[in-house]
Structure 1
Amino acid sequence: MSLFKPTGFLTCLVLVASLFLGLSESSTPARAGGSPGDFDFYVLALSWSPTYCASRGRNADPLQCRATKPFRFIVHGLWPQYERGYPDFCRSRQDGLDRGTVNDMLDIMPSRSLVAHQWRKHGSCSGLDADEYFDMTRRAFEKIRIPAPFQSLDRTGRIAPDAVEKAFRISNPGLRDAAMAVTCSNGTLQEVRICLDKDLNFRGCRAVDRSGCRAGKISVPSPAR
């Protein structure tokens, strides 16, 4: 049984939800002059790729949006955070990335420009070198179990943001509502943001949690086929 109510269908298929369940970054402001390694925790931002592809149309990154096997949740980034706000574009000895480092991330971050931007804006504040930062990013992603309905969704549906959180919570023991937020844009699922300490354990994050989507129901676009 599906978590989602398919658009245009009169029959409600969201019983399981009641039981189990273009890209923006954190709504809290950045702080100028961040020092690498000086932060409180990470946010792992998982973007629903079909939303990006649908919103950008012909301007979408072809590597991400014209893949033979459509992407679903991808890594937007692993973001160092303060309890309120976040550092960005920190001074780093390593400004650029080598091709191998970028290519190694394309299975979970399917855009070369995205990988490069995330290093410049966020990775530079981690206190890690680029290879260490992207290794940390992959380990954070692999820690998260994506709920089964999002792995098999084949039609556009609608769901409550709270139901999305509940699905992630049940699929990931130890994850609590106060350690994540679901974001939306124009009534459509955008991201699931999960807070992790520096050892990649789940941890609460009040400011991130409060920034979540306020809509009653949001659309979840299906992957292109």
Structure 2
Amino acid sequence: MSSMQLRTLAFALSMVLAGAATAQEGGGRTRFILAASWQPAFCQTNQKKAECASQTGERSDATNFSLHGLWPMKQDYCGVSAEQKAADKDGKWNELPEVTLSAEAKSALAKAMPGTQSGLERHEWVKHGTCTKMSAEDYFGVGIHLVDALNASAVRDLFAANIGKTVKADAIKAAFDKSFGPGASDRVKMSCRRAGSVRVISELTIGLSEDAGTASAKSAVLADLIQGAGKTSFGCDEGVVDAAGF
């Protein structure tokens, strides 16, 4: 091989390696969002909703994250009729078709997603679930599995240990990186809302890779799905971890 060919080969190899390094630094691409609510904060401004009127300090959602939804990126209302779409957008969720689930799945979803008391699962399926290739059983099964993994992490422990207190973004980021690997917090956005004069943490939206969109994600490792997603800004810099009750 001539010296010119060797130089050309070396240059090509260096470009491949540089491209791989850049891709690794930038992370993957976010294909799904896991939306996890802190229910007491949601209920501060939605006190008349059934799941809020019935909330107690002993119920699971008082000290754990609740499943809001699993959202495919840039897709919604796939194959949904105009009538159902209009009803959903008008907030008439109980007029939407009932979601067909096994008794076991219904029970698990009622615990993970208190909003089922207001028909939230019908809204989530019509708007988001229809844009996956999963059945309703698998779609909600994946969401339940992922929010359970979040609730088994240092992130949930941090929130539960600081109810009624202000928690800063840096502490939450550190908990994400501890539980889900270095850089996991770069795939998370935190939302806050005002409840009177207090800014409370209302929701975490967590970027996930395309593997979150298959039935096999019911046994997936949440850290792997997060690490395969793209980066985002964290959003709210601090907020109070609200306690159950108004």
With normalisation by structure 1, the TM-score equals 0.67
Q: Hey, what does 2:181 align to over in structure 1?
A: 173
Map residues 120-199 of structure 1 onto 2, 5 A cutoff: 120-144=126-150, 145-147=152-154, 148-153=157-162, 155-173=163-181, 176-186=184-194, 187-199=199-211
Residues 37 and 203 of structure 2 are in contact (CA less than 8 Å); yes or no, is this contact kept in structure 1?
yes
Residues 34 and 207 of structure 2 are in contact (CA less than 8 Å); yes or no, is this contact kept in structure 1?
yes
Map residues 9-28 of structure 1 onto 2, 5 A cutoff: none
SS in 2 for 1:159: strand
State the distance in 1 between where 2:183 and 2:229 align: 9
User: RMSD in angstroms over aligned alpha carbons?
Assistant: 2.9
**Bigger fraction of residues in strand:** 1
Residues 156 and 221 of structure 1 are in contact (CA less than 8 Å); yes or no, is this contact kept in structure 2?
yes
State the distance in 2 between where 1:169 and 1:223 align: 27
Residues 30 and 207 of structure 2 are in contact (CA less than 8 Å); yes or no, is this contact kept in structure 1?
no
Residues 57 and 245 of structure 2 are in contact (CA less than 8 Å); yes or no, is this contact kept in structure 1?
no
State the distance in 1 between where 2:211 and 2:182 align: 14
* Distance change >3 Å, CA 89–CA 64, structure 1 → 2: farther
* Deviation sequence 1:55-90 (CA, Å, 0-9, x none): 222345247624742513111111111xxxx21111
Q: Hey, what does 1:11 align to over in structure 2?
A: none
Residues 63 and 111 of structure 1 are in contact (CA less than 8 Å); yes or no, is this contact kept in structure 2?
no
Q: Hey, what does 1:108 align to over in structure 2?
A: 112
SS in 1 for 2:186: helix
Partner of residue 57 from structure 1, selected from 47, 52, 73: 47
Runs (5+) with no aligned partner, structure 2? 1-28, 82-96, 213-224
How many percent of aligned residue pairs carry the same amino acid? Answer: 22
* Distance change >3 Å, CA 220–CA 60, structure 1 → 2: farther
Work out whether 1:204 is the aligned partner of 2:192. no
Larger radius of gyration: 2
Report the AA paired with residue 78 of structure 2.
Answer: C
Q: Hey, what does 2:239 align to over in structure 1?
A: 218
**Bigger fraction of residues in helix:** 2
State the distance in 2 between where 1:176 and 1:53 align: 28
* Distance change >3 Å, CA 166–CA 40, structure 1 → 2: closer
State the distance in 2 between where 1:74 and 1:120 align: 19
* Distance change >3 Å, CA 134–CA 63, structure 1 → 2: farther
How many matched pairs?
Answer: 178
